[in-house]
Each structure stands twice: as C-alpha cells, then as structure tokens.
Amino acid sequence: MDFEENAQHQVKLKEFNSGVGYVRGAGVLKESAWYIIKMIFFLSALPYPYRFKRFLLKLFGAKMGENIVIKPRVNIHMPWHLSIGNDVWIGEEVYLLNLVPITIGNDVCISQRAFLCTGNHDYRKPSMDYRNQPIILNDGCWVGASVFVGPGVTVGKNTVIAAGGVVTSTTEANVIYKGNPALIKGNRWRV
C-alpha cells in the first residue's frame, strides 16, 4: 500500500482535540496563577527557601511530604498532579511534565536536568490524540543527571538510573540501569 497517496494515513494535526478523554485538573485561572508563580519562584535561578516552595506547591494542590529539597530552575507543569514523599531531592533544571500524576516516593533523588515526561501522542492516529500515562518513582531510587523517564514507567525501589539513561518501560528493584535504552548493568547493593 502506498501510504503517501492514501489520505487515510496522513497526519492531520488540525483534528487534534486535547479534550478527548483528558482532564487537566484545574481551570484557566488556577493554571494561569500557577504559571506566574512558577516563573517567579521555581524557574528562577534565585535559591528561594525549600519550605516556601513546598508551601506554594501545596497551595496549588500537590501532596507534599517533609524535608523536600527543590533546587532552582525546576519546572513543574501541574502541581495538582504531583505527589512527593519525605526526604526527596530535586536537582536544578529538573522538568516534571506531569499532564497526569507523577508519584515520587520517600528518599528519592532526581538529579540535574532529568526529564520525567507523562505526555505522549498516539502517532498511529492522524489526529495524534493524547495517550498520557503516569510515572511512579518508588522509595530509594535515584534518577541520574539528564535521564529521560517516559510515560507509564515505574522505577523500582532502590533502583539507580545512571546519568543520560533513557527509560521507557518499568524497571526492576535494587539494580542499576544505564544507557539508551536503559539496560540492567548490575545490582545496586554489594553483598
């Protein structure tokens, strides 16, 4: 079959409808207010106090534990789709594209420039409809610098994703993943 000549098999982005089966979780006013707050206090290079940032995230609907470190220039797309446990570190320039929930357990470290992306499109449909899926980071895991974690991924308990890794499927617990695609390179704990 010649796909180029078959109009049924051509991308038609004007037919995209972001509202099909997708609930943003907040109205226009709340989203607009969040973007202003985010630009001033989260995307800034100024080191605003962590407690203040935690307060702001809670104000916008995030579920927040205690002792959370949020470094400067962290981009959180929708705090009302965010749940963070206790004793979590989020490094500079981390991007949480949480169109749907991101759940971060206790004692989790997310290093600089990591990108957690819940958003995706169905590339087999001409209208490229959303097919977003949540992300879960279990207790004790470490997402290294410049790691990409894709939609629908659950990172196993105490698992390490080494710097620059690309994770597009759920990982096992207590192991180290490296590369693109991220593959198991060994156990985290020496026995």
- pLDDT (tens digit, 9 = 90+) per residue, 30-87? 999 999 999 999 999 999 999 999 999 999 999 999 999 999 999 999 999 999 999 9
DSSP 10: S
pTM: 0.91
Nearest to 99 by CA among 130, 65, 139, 64: 130
Q: Is 28 exposed, middle or buried (0-12, 13-18, 19+ CB in 10 A)?
A: exposed
Beta strands in 17-131 (DSSP E): 63-64, 68-70, 75-76, 82-84, 88-90, 95-97, 102-104, 109-110, 115-117
Residue 23, pLDDT > 90, answer: no
Residue 1 pLDDT greater than 60, yes or no: no
pLDDT at 2: 53
Given a contact cutoff of 8 angstroms between Cβ atoms, the answer to whether 144 and 160 are in contact is: yes
Confidence at 130, pLDDT banded by 50, 70, 90 = confident
Average the pLDDT over 82-101 and give the result.
97
Domains of the chain: 26-187 (2.160.10.10)
